[in-house]
């Protein structure tokens, strides 16, 4: 067995032992002092460096204020490789876990080795967590837990690299809901793909982001960063919710429904203003990115391009209407075999017996060029990533679009090693990859 293979095997045994409660380790997140006792008033013994691995020997029985007096953490008694033993405040330590129960999919990833380059061609990774409480009120017993999460990589030389991947607190959460390792830049090393969800008390909506990181000159560099949220209009969630992202060996492709103000015409169809609450032109937008080796970033390969959504009716013998009103004149009898292009979304909020109801019509164009209106519940989108999600929404449109929380696979990876996949949420096909 080679020396490097032996080192990798040793690391795996070390991590396995840790997972079974035999040894607990921590990563030093920034240079910190260790003290003789679990108090800043006790004598300082030694300074630990950033990225150093230490063994955890003991933990204080309760939480204590950090130096800023704004948060509370446990004290940990630790031992470094030079056998310095002392107490360190937990705000600068990430406790390492191989497969914590709340992240049930993690066993499929650990083991490695993974090649992220720059001296970490043979590395294993594990999860690091800093836990404490926000001391934001005099009622310390309130649910104000604070957590920071890290991906921690270790190579055969015991060197480490770590990447912050999330925080959870009473103020809000930045949660990793999808993680994947894949060689996107075709340099023989794996990039790190993070799919994030951001929520908070002062946020009106959930925000989702896709980020890709590469290890360059000793640091993780963000080489792709895209917010995925879609909007019907400013501040109003789109029925499509988030962009769909297809990540494959050739690059990154996105598609999504776009709602825009109508002016003049859309796809060659004249748009006539109607007495409705909302009149939005609707289009199916695609764009793609490819790796730009010169700029060390993913750059647009195809700029966003818009086409009409394809659709059909749900049942035979439905009339196309002259106006967005079921009482208006019928202009064409449609059959299920007829293919339609969706041009615009028209929405009117009406009052029925004291109850507000959202009535939605689509302006569509038939294959023989006839233009007219159909109720949304009679139309079915086809041949698009968002088709099923839009069909569910328009079957019974919500008056308040912010209440639309249905899921689909918004991020898809194909053409890569499925063994490196991690569904952090445990929700399978309902969310994430």
pLDDT tens digits, residue range 365-381?
A: 999 999 999 999 999 99
How far apart CA 157 and CA 52 sit, in angstroms, is 12
Give the helix, strand, coil percentages of the chain, each rounded to 5.
10, 50, 40
Question: Which of 431 and 92 is assigned the larger pLDDT?
Answer: 92
Q: Is 191 a residue whose pLDDT tops 60?
A: yes
What pLDDT score was predicted for residue 101? 33
Residue with tokens 């560099």: 221
What 410-413 contacts at long range (C-beta under 8 Å, 24+ apart), as own/partner pairs, is 410/208, 410/228, 410/241, 410/242, 410/243, 410/244, 410/245, 411/178, 411/195, 411/210, 411/244, 411/245, 411/247, 412/244, 412/245, 412/246, 412/247, 413/180, 413/182, 413/193, 413/247, 413/248
| Both structure tokens of 344 | 């615009």
What pLDDT score was predicted for residue 108? 38
What is the average pLDDT across 269-282? 92
Q: Is 432 a residue whose pLDDT tops 60?
A: no
Residue with tokens 């704004």: 70
Q: Is the pTM of this model over 0.75?
A: yes
What pLDDT score was predicted for residue 99? 41
Averaged pLDDT of the chain: 86
The closest of 237, 253, 192 to 424, measured between CA atoms, is 192
What pLDDT score was predicted for residue 8? 40
Instruction: Note if the bond before 147 is cis, omega within 30 degrees.
Output: no
Confidence of residue 144 (pLDDT cuts 50, 70, 90): confident
Hey, where are the domains in the chain? 3-226+416-421, 248-403
Residue pair 225/388 in contact (Cβ under 8 Å)? The answer is no
Q: Is 430 a residue whose pLDDT tops 50?
A: no
Residue % of the chain over a pLDDT of 90: 67
Q: Is 98 a residue whose pLDDT tops 90?
A: no
Per-residue DSSP letter, 123: B
Q: What is the pLDDT of residues 62-92, one digit of tens each?
A: 999 888 888 999 999 999 999 999 999 999 9
What pLDDT score was predicted for residue 357? 81
Confidence of residue 137 (pLDDT cuts 50, 70, 90): low
| Both structure tokens of 277 | 């609450």
Q: Is 5 a residue whose pLDDT tops 90?
A: no
Confidence of residue 23 (pLDDT cuts 50, 70, 90): confident
Confidence of residue 10 (pLDDT cuts 50, 70, 90): very low
Question: Which of 421 and 263 is assigned the larger pLDDT?
Answer: 263
| Both structure tokens of 260 | 């825009």
What pLDDT score was predicted for residue 63? 92
φ and ψ at residue 213, rounded to 5 degrees: -120, 150
Q: What is the pLDDT of residues 202-254, one digit of tens each?
A: 888 899 999 999 999 999 999 999 999 999 999 899 999 999 999 999 999 99
Beta bridge partners of 149: 129, 166
What is the average pLDDT across 316-345? 94
């Amino acid at each position: 067995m080679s020396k490097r293979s032996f080192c990798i095997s040793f690391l795996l045994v070390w991590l396995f032992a840790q997972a079974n409660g035999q040894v607990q380790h921590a990563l030093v997140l920034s240079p910190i002092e260790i003290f003789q006792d679990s108090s800043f008033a006790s004598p300082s013994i030694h300074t630990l460096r950033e990225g150093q691995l230490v063994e955890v020997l003991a933990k204080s029985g309760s939480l204590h204020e950090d130096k800023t007096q704004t948060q509370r953490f446990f004290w940990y008694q630790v031992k470094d490789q030079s056998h310095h033993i002392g107490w360190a405040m937990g705000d600068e330590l990430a406790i390492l876990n191989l497969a914590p129960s709340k992240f049930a999919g993690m066993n499929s990833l650990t083991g490695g080795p993974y090649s992220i380059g720059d001296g970490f061609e043979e590395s294993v990774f594990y999860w690091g967590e800093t836990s404490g409480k926000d001391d934001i009120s005099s009622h310390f017993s309130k649910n104000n837990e604070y957590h920071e999460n890290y991906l921690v990589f270790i190579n055969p030389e015991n060197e480490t690299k770590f990447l912050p991947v999330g925080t959870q607190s009473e103020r809000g959460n930045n949660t990793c809901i999808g993680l994947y390792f894949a060689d996107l830049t075709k340099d023989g090393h794996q990039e790190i793909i993070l799919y994030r969800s951001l929520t908070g008390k002062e946020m009106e909506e959930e925000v989702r982001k896709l980020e890709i990181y590469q290890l360059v000159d000793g640091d993780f560099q963000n080489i792709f960063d895209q917010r995925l949220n879609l909007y019907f209009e400013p501040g109003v969630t789109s029925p499509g919710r988030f962009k769909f992202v297809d990540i494959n060996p050739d690059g990154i492709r996105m598609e999504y429904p776009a709602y825009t103000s109508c002016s003049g015409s859309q796809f060659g169809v004249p748009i006539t203003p109607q007495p409705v609450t909302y009149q939005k032109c609707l289009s199916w937008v695609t764009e793609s990115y490819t790796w730009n080796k010169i700029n060390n970033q993913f750059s647009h390969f195809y700029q966003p391009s818009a086409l009409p959504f394809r659709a059909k009716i749900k049942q035979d013998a439905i009339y196309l209407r002259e106006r967005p009103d079921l009482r208006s004149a019928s202009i064409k009898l449609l059959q299920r075999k007829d293919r339609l292009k969706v041009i615009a979304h028209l929405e009117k909020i009406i009052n029925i017996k004291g109850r507000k109801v959202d009535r939605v019509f689509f302006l569509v164009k038939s294959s023989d060029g006839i233009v007219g209106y159909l109720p949304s519940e009679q139309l079915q989108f086809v041949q698009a990533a968002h088709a099923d999600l839009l069909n569910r929404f328009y079957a019974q449109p919500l008056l308040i679009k912010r209440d639309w929380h249905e899921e689909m696979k918004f991020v898809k990876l194909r053409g890569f090693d499925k063994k490196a996949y991690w569904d952090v949420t445990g929700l399978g096909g309902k969310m994430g990859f």
